[in-house]
Structure 1
């Protein structure tokens, strides 16, 4: 695979890991000192994600319109996202859906392309944000 395809594949694996709540797989896509979700460091990033997804019901992260720019061992990808979250427990029967774009920065490492920075620019949302709960 070329670099663009490798990055698109990493994005797909991250989306699947988010939906499976595979915290270790999520951590493994970020560099140790990465920034993301308004946090710094792999552990803080995963803790923040876990605080939103850990207690909600099923989710689905749909990604598309990948634009990838490669510059040697660095890259940037812009990816549209539509993310559906189903409520659980007291929020059963409710949902929260958000739409936006991930702005990701990557570094080529011995373990493959790793995220150094992630920002989600949400442009629209619908439903009850309360379905996002810690586990």
Structure 2
């Protein structure tokens, strides 16, 4: 294996790890980890309109997750393409959300895709610069995100 192939493989693995850490950060409400993965100028659209900036993206996610109970964001069929200091990734997302009482009868699942763009930072790490969530469907109720369900 030549050095370019090895570098590309290591970059793909680093990005995959960041994808997984980001998903876990949502479930663990670890906003600091999420902030380290997101670029300061990151943009995103989770199906509710585009937001710009690390703080705005974290705020959008918190707007949902701060009001619900246990969540689990599962990624699959991850495809990463690296070209120099830029990369794209696509990953299936299946997320489960319970209400704030963790009642399994009140839940919501979404099925979709994360379409992400990455940029290599000056320190060599990879930062998420754009996330678009393509929602293909959901099961359950949006009431899991309602602050009144507490």
**TM interval, short-chain normalised:** over 0.9
Shift of 1:118: 0.2
Could you tell me which residue of structure 2 aligns to residue 45 of structure 1? 57
Rounded to whole Å, the distance in 2 between the matches of 1:130 and 1:22 is: 23
**1:70 and 2:82 correspond:** yes
Rounded to whole Å, the distance in 2 between the matches of 1:73 and 1:133 is: 40
Q: How does 1:79-98 map to 2 (within 5 A)?
A: 79-89=91-101, 92=103, 93-98=105-110
TM-score, structure 2 as length reference: 0.84
Task: Write out the 4+ residue segments of structure 1 that deviate beyond 3 Å after TM superposition.
Answer: none
**1:116 and 2:116 correspond:** no
Rounded to whole Å, the distance in 2 between the matches of 1:111 and 1:86 is: 37
Could you tell me which residue of structure 2 aligns to residue 129 of structure 1? 142
RMSD of the TM alignment (CA)? 1.7
Unaligned residue ranges in structure 1 (runs of 5+): none
Q: Which has the higher Rg, Structure 1 or Structure 2?
A: 2
Residue 29 of structure 1, aligned match among 23, 37, 42? 37
- Between Structure 1 and Structure 2, how many residues are aligned? 134
Residue 24 of structure 2, aligned match among 11, 16, 24? 16
Q: Deviations over 1:84-115 (max 9, x none)?
A: 001114x8440010010000000011151100
**Greater helix percent: which structure?**
2
Structure 1 residues 111 and 73, CA gap change in structure 2 (3 angstroms):
closer
Could you tell me which residue of structure 2 aligns to residue 2 of structure 1? 10
Rounded to whole Å, the distance in 2 between the matches of 1:88 and 1:22 is: 18
**Greater strand percent: which structure?**
1
The alignment partner of 1:16 has SS state of helix
Shift of 1:24: 1.3
Could you tell me which residue of structure 1 aligns to residue 69 of structure 2? 57
